[in-house]
Structure 1
């Protein structure tokens, strides 16, 4: 059955990722052939939104990004008579449109009437959610949980390791101290959960099996987990799977001396819903004002916790922020104002520095505290918000130019 054809219930089957990729590849091939014909295809190429932006998708998904350095960009700016209109018509025939993103790239979107608009958006959201499945993202991201609470069937699309990491993050979100196993040679335990209790700590062992729905868990797998729980003197155990359990496994679990829970994707859906409800959406609430006040007082002129990003396409603007909290993969940043130290007399061009002082504390609001992905390359730390790339400020005044 092909995409769009109805199944036995009359429901059209959505296109697979492979079918969507084929549509994009055909579009890219047409664009390259057009540009080559006009001798414009030099230092050009395509990247996915996930590769180039690595940010949360918008309401209309970017199906591919055309990047260039040379005449193709000038053609799209209308410098070659009629080629910009010709390019627009080419995309329109395929059901797409484009928008210049910056001086060296253009984002290509599906048209509103394109029947693949929603499937492309679903694909973009899925790629974003998968990028959030990390061992260490603190409690910054809500989409990770809300996605699976609404679409538990997508648990089957994760890799087995992503599945284990997701469960690990869910249990952490419930306030437990958790230890994620190495993924292989783990002795039959994927996650250890320690619940602090006045009457004695409670150790729970978790075994996760990322299986196809038809591959049900048998008695031997459940018995193995119980054996490990007995040896480690655990108080509880949880077996979690994307499939289901054979009756013999359920009978065994109901008779174990150490309480055992047999969980399926339905349970994970409920856990994700609880985790999503527990996320603090106003990120400013994650940091106490007293901690921010101490941080501001402690900041030095060249402190790496002060970060900077250049913004603007045809103009040059600056954005400064303070790193409030960071983990290996994520960070919370708070925007701070810029202070002009010199200009051209009209306020159009000049130099700026971050305005660090007691007034920064007033900026601890939901509108100014935002999340970012943290990464380290060649020893350099950067923070990506999905639209701006922040890096530690070097202490030198930053140039701005508001003349378009």
Structure 2
């Protein structure tokens, strides 16, 4: 895992630096003893061997204790999330913000995931509202656990399933694929895409959430401002409280900026691929 703060020095770094400092001094002493007093040389060599054995033993014991403490802490954090029924929220957070959609120097990185620190602060505030007080290191452990779990599942599922291609789909096929996807996610879905659809292709409803979805099945073209403008109009027209644009391609920089201003969710190709694998167990390229 890439640390958010690169200047933080771990216990392993401190120990390594200490050994690097002591070793040359010890070698110089040995050379000096060999040249001046060979009897003392063997005594100092014995001291060095004993010290090395003790050091290695301490390191092994320290690592075992450290790993056990870390595992207990992780289990405690995960149990809190499970008992609060927030696993789906955490997975959604990772899926929504974990693929580096927001460029920032201050990020949490693990595997191919990159999450902006401001988003992590938002997650910390969200958990705090649920009476869950997690430190920054606790959030790191939490996200690492669910990302590693997700990636292992993705690997196993990818091995089992046959890969399909977005390029084989037309607009209607893509809408039907999204219909199946959102049904698998627990939504009640209406397929409304047709001529004169006012910019919306599907409406997905779950509890108090009513989402208008626009499907953009592109291969070589990025979705631009017009897609965001259309879905904003469709959100009002269909009386929805959320708006989402999903594409088999990517979004232009201008579209991303406009979406932020108008509170529109954008789901690019990489996020869509993960969603399809997670919920439909289908691999798409």
Normalization by structure 1: what TM-score? 0.29
Normalization by structure 2: what TM-score? 0.40
**Greater helix share, 1 or 2?**
2
Using CA pairs below 8 Å that are at least 6 residues apart, which structure has the higher relative contact order?
Answer: 2
